Amino acid sequence: MAALHASLNAATAAVNAANANAQAAQAVAAAATASAFKPATPPRYENKDKDMEIRKWLPVVEDYARTCNDVDYLRIVSSFLHGKPRSYFQSKYDAHKAANGGNEPDDPRAFFRETMISGYGLFDQTQVYWDNWNNLRMLGNMDIGDYNIAFTQCLTDLGDQIQGEQVKIEKYRLGLQSDMREMVRTSPQGTRWETLQALIEYCSLQWPIVAARIAKRTKHPPAAGKVGGKRKSSGGGGGSSSRPKLGATGKLRKKPRLFLMCSLPRRTLKRAVRRGERVTVRKPTALAARLCIQKAVDWMHTKALP
């Protein structure tokens, strides 16, 4: 029996020694890799409209300071706050100490999280999703693939709040680039689109053609037909001339001249036609006819004089 107890004690001692060696090896390995695998430095938080959303930023900072003791936790995590967020947290921290006799928060991690969420995390996320949906459109430098991703993300965010396949189809079509929007006014069969997926697939196939057309139009823009709201003339900037003016289309734009059949000589009409003027001849009124007759009588009287 004595020999059996001695062997058991020896085996137990060997197991304890092995466990101690394993723990020592783990401690050495952890110390060697601590600097190599430590979390990356969090980004600073200064502007809630431009920086990372506060509910996404907090886990990054908390992971960075996960091994920090409670005494230094608030000092370390608040060092990544700048501007108004920094002033806001400092005011809340000072108010807490003043209300509790100068004592630090019992749970600094919960205090930091609750303070920052109460100041920068309370907003209606659903309203943000609706704003993204209402403002969704294909920008000038956006590819059809990027537009499809943005549209799908909006549908995912709103979930079952968007009902009806035709509502989705119309929203997708109205947000397309103008050339593409006109192309998909109806399906290739001339009927309305039945499913959103069919519309997305058709737009993805036709986009290279539309993109090439846009690039060509941008590279060779058409000549401006108007300047300052007025039609641009091909002539010089000098004074008025008796020559006919050519517009942007190359056609005569001068207002036609009106002649009475009996008030002007034939050579005047021929000269107007030779200059390229548009001539409209109309019959004289009764008053104009009497004036012409009076002119003829007066002319005959002058010829009859010696």
Q: 3-state secondary structure string, 228-251?
A: CCEECCCCCCCCCCCCCCECCCCC
240-246: Cβ within 8 A, 24+ apart: 242/275, 243/275, 243/276, 244/275, 244/276, 244/277
Structural tokens at position 71: 């005494």
Q: How confident is the model at residue 223 (pLDDT cuts 50, 70, 90)?
A: low
Q: Does residue 189 lie in a domain region? A: yes
For Cα atoms 149, 150, 155, give the angle at the middle one, nearest 5 degrees.
95
Domain of residue 265, residue span: 255-306
**How far apart are the C-alpha atoms of 246 and 237, rounded to whole Å?**
13
**91 and 143 in a common domain:** no
The type of residue at 175 is G
The CATH code of the domain that includes 203 is: 1.10.1200
**Percent helix, strand and coil across the chain, each rounded to 5?**
60, 5, 35
Q: Does residue 82 lie in a domain region? A: yes
**197 and 114 in a common domain:** no
Amino acid 11: pLDDT: 72
Whether the predicted pLDDT of 301 surpasses 90: no
Q: Does residue 226 lie in a domain region? A: no
**141 and 114 in a common domain:** no
**302 and 283 in a common domain:** yes
**140 and 211 in a common domain:** yes
Q: Does residue 46 lie in a domain region? A: no
Residues found in the chain: 306
Sign of the alpha-carbon dihedral angle for 181, 183, 189, 191: positive
For Cα atoms 58, 61, 63, give the angle at the middle one, nearest 5 degrees.
105
- Segments of the chain assigned E as strands: 226-227, 230-231, 257-260, 279-282
- List phi, psi (to 5°) of 124: -85, 100
CA 200 to chain centre: 19
Residues in contact with 82: Cβ distance below 8 Å, sequence separation at least 6, in sequence order: 44, 45, 46
**207 and 144 in a common domain:** yes
**130 and 69 in a common domain:** no
Instruction: Tell me the whole-structure pTM to 2 decimals.
Output: 0.39
Count of domains for the chain: 3
Domain endpoint, select from 85, 100, 120:
120
Structural tokens at position 59: 């886990």
Q: Does residue 294 lie in a domain region? A: yes
Q: Does residue 186 lie in a domain region? A: yes
**145 and 106 in a common domain:** no
Contact indicator for 254, 235 with CB cutoff of 8 Å:
no
DSSP conformational letter for 103: P
Domain endpoint, select from 171, 191, 217:
217
Domain endpoint, select from 98, 120, 142:
120
Q: Which is nearest to 87 in space by CA: 111, 108, 115?
A: 115
**152 and 136 in a common domain:** yes
Q: What is the pLDDT of residues 82-112, one digit of tens each?
A: 998 899 999 999 998 888 888 999 899 999 9
Tell me whether strands 226-227 and 230-231 are parallel, antiparallel or unpaired.
antiparallel
DSSP conformational letter for 188: T
- List phi, psi (to 5°) of 258: -105, 130
Q: What is the rounded average pLDDT of the residues 207-222?
A: 81
Q: What is the rounded average pLDDT of the residues 48-75?
A: 87
Q: Does residue 172 lie in a domain region? A: yes
Q: Does residue 35 lie in a domain region? A: no
**How far apart are the C-alpha atoms of 112 and 110, rounded to whole Å?**
6
Q: How confident is the model at residue 247 (pLDDT cuts 50, 70, 90)?
A: very low
**192 and 143 in a common domain:** yes
Whether the predicted pLDDT of 15 surpasses 60: yes
